[in-house]
Each structure stands twice: as structure tokens, then as C-alpha cells.
Structure 1
Amino acid sequence: MLSYVRWILFAFISLILFGVICLESVNHPPSITVHAGLESAVPISGSYCWEGLISAECVTADPSLGTEPAKASYRMTVEPGEEIHINQKQANSFSVEQFAEDKTYKSMVLDSSTFKAPDQPGTYQYRMAGYWEKGSASYLFTIQVLP
């Protein structure tokens, strides 16, 4: 009988530890996708701070704006003025900043996680920042507006 109780206690503790380990492994921000027309991609993940069940993690990994790796990793071709949709887990706050080839900067106005591509042809990079209950994260993507 004592052996049976030990076995039940061992199984119960093992299940609890397994559950904590599984829950803690989801210690990173959500993935985000960006869509324009028929094209879609996952932006480059940048810096983030995220809380897990028993720990928190902060990672500094922002790809520099204007660097070749950032440009080559994610590029989407769009028409002038085309709508760009951001699919993201409902953030408490979400912002998008546009950086043009001429080094100008602009905060984008989001309408239901959607904004319009510039009317002028060229290459534009976007930095997104989201704030959720468990933490914050940044992302980067590039578009090429066709002539």
C-alpha cells in the first residue's frame, strides 16, 4: 500500500513539473505576419522582454535599420497606396514607424491593424512595437513600392 501511495505522489509531482516546464517554454512574444495583396511574410524579430510563469527574459536583438541583413531578410513588393495588414495577437498597444530611403521618419496611423503603403516608389523599412500583458517586442520588415 505504501508503495502505491509513493507511486501516485511521484506521478503527481512529475505531472506538475512537466506542466510548469511546458508553460515556461512559451516565454517569448507572439509571431506577427504582414500581408499586402497576395504576398505575406513574417517580420524579423527584434528586442523583447517577456514574462513567463516563473521567470522573465529580455533579449536585445534589433536588426539595424538600413543594414543589408535587415533588407535582405524580409522584403515585400507592393503597389503604391496598397493596404498593408498586420496580423498580431491582440496587443494592448501597437505602433508602426516608417523609415524611407532618404532617412525621413514617419509614425504610421493604424486603422484596425492596417495602413497604406506610400504613393512614391522606393524602399521603405518599418519598425513595429507591441505591448502585451506579458511584455513587449519589436519587429522589422521592408517593402518595395513599385513605380
Structure 2
Amino acid sequence: MILKKAIGVVSGLLVLGVVLFFVYPKDESQSEPKPPDLQVQAGEETVTAKQGGYSWKDGNQAVSVDSADPAEDLDAGQALSAVSGAMVELDFQKPPQSLEVERKAEDGSWENQQVYDSQLELPELSDDYIYRISGQWEQGEASYAFLVKAE
């Protein structure tokens, strides 16, 4: 009789524990560390750059995410429309300590681009331009890409 009660109590506690595990909200502060998003703005239009691979640490947690080059499969439907020769602003949630910006040339090679005060100037010719960005922070590094349709 005592054994049956003990098994009933243990079973009840086990069921209660499982229910609480799935129902109780998780602490968001324990989520996986992630680098800041990059918003790209030209005029009144803003898009979020596609994030590629990154290595990031926050406190005792660290994560390394490997992915294909984010510039390889950009969605044309999410392209930033801008005027040729316009300035494009790169707005990170947290500014990087260092930044490298490249533009894909017609021959498929990558050309370094100058960035002034988180802005880069589009070419004067109307065309589609793919940009790839690498940023470094104290917490790690991340890569991004975006497409601009300059008219």
C-alpha cells in the first residue's frame, strides 16, 4: 500500500515537472548570442541586410554559425531601390569596431568600397549592385549582404 502511494506521488511529480518544463516561459536572457542586425537605408527606403556566418560571444555563451556567402542568393524582392550616385547608410544596432565593404564587379570579383561615417556612395550608373559587409566587434564578427537597384 505504501509502495503504491509512493509510486503515485513520484509519478504525479514527474508529470507536473514535464508540464512545467513545456509551459513555463524560458528566460530570454539565456537565448543564443547573436550579432546586431544591419539596416540599410537610401532616402526613405530601408531594408535589413541578409546575415551570413558569424562568431559571437556574450558572457559565458559563445556561438559560431557557418553559412554560405550571404551575397550568393539574395532575394531580388528585398532589394533596396535607390537613385544612382546616392548615399546609402549602414545602420547597425551596435556599431562595429571595424568594417569592410565590398561591391561585386561585373567580372564576379569583389572590389573594396570606401565608407564615410557609416555611408557609402552608389555608382553613377543605373544597375543592380551587390554589397558584402564584414564587421568586427569586441564580441565577435559577422558578415552581411544586400542588393541595391540603382536607377
Which bracket does the TM-score occupy, shorter chain normalised?
Answer: 0.7 to 0.9
For structure 1, the 5+ residue unaligned runs are 1-20
Name the count of aligned residue pairs: 124
Q: Is the 8 A contact 2:99 2:135 kept in 1?
A: yes
Q: Displacement of 1:29 after TM fit?
A: 0.2
Residue-by-residue CA offset, 1:20-48 (whole Å, 9 max, x unaligned): x5434250001110000111010101000
Instruction: Give the Cα–Cα distance (whole angstroms) in 2 for the partners of residues 137 and 74 of structure 1.
Output: 20
Name whichever of 112-121 and 99-108 sits farther off. 99-108
The residue that corresponds to 1:8 in the other structure is: none
Instruction: Give the Cα–Cα distance (whole angstroms) in 1 for the partners of residues 30 and 143 of structure 2.
Output: 21
Picking from 117, 131, 135, the partner of 2:136 is 131
The residue that corresponds to 2:110 in the other structure is: 105
The residue that corresponds to 1:122 in the other structure is: 127
Instruction: Give the Cα–Cα distance (whole angstroms) in 2 for the partners of residues 118 and 66 of structure 1.
Output: 21
Instruction: Give the Cα–Cα distance (whole angstroms) in 2 for the partners of residues 23 and 30 of structure 1.
Output: 15
Q: For the pair shown, which has the larger CA radius of gyration, 1 or 2?
A: 2
For structure 2, the 5+ residue unaligned runs are 1-26
The residue that corresponds to 1:25 in the other structure is: 31
Q: CA RMSD in A?
A: 1.8
The residue that corresponds to 1:80 in the other structure is: 84
Instruction: Give the Cα–Cα distance (whole angstroms) in 1 for the partners of residues 141 and 52 of structure 2.
Output: 10
The amino acid of 1:54's aligned partner reads N
Label 1:110 to 1:50 Cα distance change in 2 as closer, same or farther (>3 A). Answer: same
Residue-by-residue CA offset, 1:25-75 (whole Å, 9 max, x unaligned): 2500011100001110101010000012222111112345343xx143631
Label 1:73 to 1:49 Cα distance change in 2 as closer, same or farther (>3 A). Answer: farther
Q: In percent, how many aligned pairs have the same letter?
A: 27
Label 1:60 to 1:73 Cα distance change in 2 as closer, same or farther (>3 A). Answer: farther
Q: Is the 8 A contact 1:49 1:59 kept in 2?
A: yes
Instruction: Give the Cα–Cα distance (whole angstroms) in 2 for the partners of residues 73 and 44 of structure 1.
Output: 13
1:26-41 matches, cutoff 5 A:
27-41=33-47
Q: Secondary structure at the match of 2:29?
A: helix
Q: Secondary structure at the match of 2:88?
A: strand
Instruction: Give the Cα–Cα distance (whole angstroms) in 2 for the partners of residues 114 and 64 of structure 1.
Output: 20
Q: Is the 8 A contact 2:134 2:141 kept in 1?
A: yes
> Normalization by structure 2: what TM-score?
0.74
Q: Secondary structure at the match of 1:51?
A: strand
Instruction: Give the Cα–Cα distance (whole angstroms) in 2 for the partners of residues 48 and 114 of structure 1.
Output: 23
